[in-house]
Amino acid sequence: MVRGKDSSSAEVHFIGQIVSGSGFSDSQLFCRWSIQTGGAWHHVEGLKEGQTHADCPQLGQAAIWCHPVDVHYTIKGITGWPKLVVQVYSLDGFGRFDICGYGFCNLPSSPGAHSIDCVIWRPTGSLRDEFRQQFVGGGPQLRDPQLVYTSLDRYRIQTTAMGTVHVQISVILRNFARYGIEY
């Protein structure tokens, strides 16, 4: 069914995929993602968070997720452009999952197809914690996941780099010229 839509507001569409994750030392990986925006953004349709399947890649290959992202916003201001926040987890043979890393990337603000690499990091504890994590798992996790995409209180933690999450996003803008928004 094709519905008519009014055409007066400034709208943004993000259409794409969370394609893969590479460079991780663990094997069965999945990713939880969400899109965070500022207050001027009104979410119209589409899932703005989700969880991918768990992929076990061949040795040395990237974990393939190909998870579709299709979100539609209308905006009242240009502040608070969306960020894609990801958390990568690894599954072990017993079905337990453990945090592999956190990361965020800014969604593109220019129309067209973009390929984005989102760097992933993991909080580290003391030497004793790292040693124990090798055998038992369950390293430090962030208590407040907002720390991933905000810059407050970052100075308190120590982190180490993990792999990269690859995202392909196409951006379609509507009526931006009518409101004098330059991009």
Least Cβ distance, residue 174 to another protein (angstroms): 5
CA–CA distance, 88 with 66 (Å, rounded to integer): 14
**Residue 67 touches another protein, criterion: CB under 8 A:** yes
Residues 6+ apart with CB under 8 A from 5: none
Tokens standing for 117?
């690499």
Q: Tell whether the torsion through CA atoms of 65, 17, 32 and 121 is positive or negative.
A: positive
**Residue 50 touches another protein, criterion: CB under 8 A:** yes
The closest alpha carbon to 86, from 50, 114, 60, 59, belongs to: 50
CA–CA distance, 76 with 52 (Å, rounded to integer): 31
- Give the containing element (helix H, strand E) for 114: strand 112-123
CB-CB contact of 164 with 20 (8 Å): no
Per-residue interface string for the shown chain with another protein, residues 153-172, x marking contact by CB under 8 A: -----------------xxx
Least Cβ distance, residue 104 to another protein (angstroms): 19
**Residue 69 touches another protein, criterion: CB under 8 A:** yes
Per-residue interface string for the shown chain with another protein, residues 114-153, x marking contact by CB under 8 A: ----------------------------------------
**Which CB, 15 or 40, lies closer to another protein?**
15
CB-CB contact of 1 with 56 (8 Å): no
Least Cβ distance, residue 34 to another protein (angstroms): 13
**Residue 43 touches another protein, criterion: CB under 8 A:** no
Taking CB under 8 A as the binding criterion, the range among 64-72, 80-88, 115-123, 153-161 that sits at the site for another protein is: 64-72
Question: Under the rule (CB under 8 A), what is the footprint of another protein?
Answer: 1-5, 7, 13, 15-17, 19-20, 28, 30, 44-47, 50-58, 61-64, 66-70, 72, 91, 95, 110-113, 170-178
